[in-house]
Structure 1
């Protein structure tokens, strides 16, 4: 089997997590909303314990964490849920970046049609923003700053701690999409006073279809979010629907596993990154992203005279890789992330994303040879 080097798209569910999920699907299958029998009460207690433990990983209180179907839904609640507050107060300026995931960019496009002034910052060629670059664009009418922690295409880390520390002194809220960082990178960053944090289970070994949104209080004040859906009042009235107990317990177990293995995972992941760069650098590789501020598990690279689609075909028996986000993989349009970084067309057309988990068994010499052969053919 080819090595799977597309972990930024999704991760496998471990046997340990599978066992927990199956237990809550088959044996402890009660509805957490049923309060007239033991099955329902046990489910309710399990969800409450999971909420409390997961909130602790973000230095938050249990009632500040709501469960969602994943980071996309969390992003939508965080952004669209603030619209009524912006309209009520006249604070219609929203600051974000052109390198965000589509789960942020598309809700922002919708808000723009409702009269919001959406400003998308563009980074330099490294893909990173300095905190001051963002803060100097904040205005008295800025409702929200939304900036992802780790970019899903380049792995670049953004200065969310500095932004949180500065914005908490203002009326502007901060939202951080942490789909690619939660449980993997810089966990202390997410304990900063960030108002809203989106996380996704299937990026850390949990099943698809579960995630969370942290909505942190400022003192006693709540972020004034409004629900996007109605019908039941579950999840603090922000996200109705039957509580997916089995998925929540899978998310909890995956988060535990990530915490227990984080040091070992970081060492192995960083070591594989070094080996990969050592093998590929002699081929004239271009690294797309800031090498000094990047997560260890994502690498975006281009090779001179090599088209990314041709390289993916050439490597299909060796490794499963991607050109970028799985959400846009069916589109042949250039990466909006690399375009926003100002890279030239040839470099964008030749870009591939490699993402891994620990230290996979991979034929790096075969990968090097495939690239070299394509360069010769060109």
Structure 2
């Protein structure tokens, strides 16, 4: 039986989360913004409980948590929501990296068309950008620095701790896309200095279709972010529209579960990674890992199998493993991974690279057996 190894695209929902959502769908069907009856009050209580669960996981205040449809929307609000402030202040410069998720890259490119200046900092072959290189791009005209915490293709942890500390006392807003780290690098996130942070629930056992934008208060004031769509005052006007109560309940419970179990889960993921690497070493195949493992999460491995077409391998081994060769947002494109290109990896190596990502709930024996089958297929189709 095939084993699912594409958790960075979307992780399976935790059954406890699903049970909670079903209960809410069945029994809490009011609109959380209805003020005139108990049904609305019940729904609002569910939402506010989830808000507290998110805040507890991240180590922040609950009134700094704003629910969205996911990290893509959160990223868009964090970036596009600053346009009015940027124009009024005359600060229309953004610093980001060339390996951000498309939700950030396409958004800042849209702002370039509107007259903003954007600097893109690339990593070296380790997959990690240099914090100093990012900070050197910051000027008196910079309104925003946006850097992801963990890259979705390589699993490489970016130096957001160092960048945040340096920006904390400057008049520059700092946004972190924590989609691949939320619920996993819990202690690290709690130490970060930032103004805005985004994540999606479905990356760590929550449901698809819900996420969070964190807006940290400074001197009791939220960042100068405005709504980018209109229709109501839900989420204090930051994200209008009827809040999806059951999805938010699922997001909240996923956060609560992660807060209680992240250390145990990380140890399981670490053991799985060790086993996968052992199998690869024992296989006799020539391979190289894309990105430094000195700064990599325990749930991801981006690896080049020399002389093996990744496209051919994924098609030929799908009865064993569900893996990918890049971000899900570009999976229909056959162009080389822009992340690996930015790292300076040769095209032929990129075309032989796959991403394997997993979670604590994957059976280690299933992974071992099917990764061995994957490598056997790779040997058959290799040059």
Give the TM-score of the pair, scaled to structure 2: 0.96
Q: What is the Cα deviation at residue 262 of structure 1?
A: 1.3
Distance in 2 separating the partners of 1:222 and 1:185 = 25
Distance in 1 separating the partners of 2:14 and 2:123 = 37
Distance in 2 separating the partners of 1:40 and 1:186 = 33
Distance in 2 separating the partners of 1:191 and 1:59 = 9
Distance in 2 separating the partners of 1:36 and 1:12 = 37
Partner of 1:255: 255
Distance in 1 separating the partners of 2:349 and 2:277 = 17
Partner of 1:370: 377
**8 Å contact 2:49–2:252 — kept in the other structure?**
no
Distance in 2 separating the partners of 1:250 and 1:307 = 39
Q: Is 1:147 aligned to 2:154, yes or no?
A: no
Note the alpha carbon deviations across 1:155-188, whole angstroms, 9 max, x for none. 0001111111110110011100011000012433
* Residue 283 of structure 1, aligned match among 272, 282, 285: 285
**8 Å contact 2:186–2:262 — kept in the other structure?**
no
Which consecutive residues of structure 1, in runs of 5 or more, have no partner in the other structure? none
Runs of 4+ that moved beyond 6 A: none
**8 Å contact 1:183–1:262 — kept in the other structure?**
yes
- Measured on the aligned residues, the alpha-carbon RMSD in Å equals 1.2
Q: Is 1:352 aligned to 2:359, yes or no?
A: no
Note the alpha carbon deviations across 1:249-295, whole angstroms, 9 max, x for none. 00011112222221221111111111111221341211011210011
**8 Å contact 1:58–1:191 — kept in the other structure?**
no
Q: After the TM superposition, which residues 98-137 of structure 1 pair with which residues of structure 2 at under 5 Å, given as runs?
A: 98-137=98-137
Distance in 2 separating the partners of 1:84 and 1:96 = 19
Q: What is the Cα deviation at residue 374 of structure 1?
A: 2.3
User: Equivalent residue of 1:292, what SS?
Assistant: helix
Partner of 1:171: 171
**8 Å contact 2:5–2:322 — kept in the other structure?**
yes
Partner of 1:300: 302
When structure 1 is superposed on structure 2, of 29-38 and 321-330 the one drifting more is 29-38
Q: Is 1:312 aligned to 2:319, yes or no?
A: no
Q: What is the Cα deviation at residue 70 of structure 1?
A: 0.2
Note the alpha carbon deviations across 1:128-162, whole angstroms, 9 max, x for none. 02222211221111111100000000000011111
Q: What is the Cα deviation at residue 14 of structure 1?
A: 2.0
Count matched residues.
Answer: 376
Partner of 1:226: 226
Give the TM-score of the pair, scaled to structure 1: 0.97
Partner of 2:272: 272
Partner of 1:45: 45
Distance in 2 separating the partners of 1:22 and 1:139 = 50
Q: What is the Cα deviation at residue 56 of structure 1?
A: 2.4
Q: Is 1:215 aligned to 2:215, yes or no?
A: yes
Distance in 2 separating the partners of 1:72 and 1:173 = 19
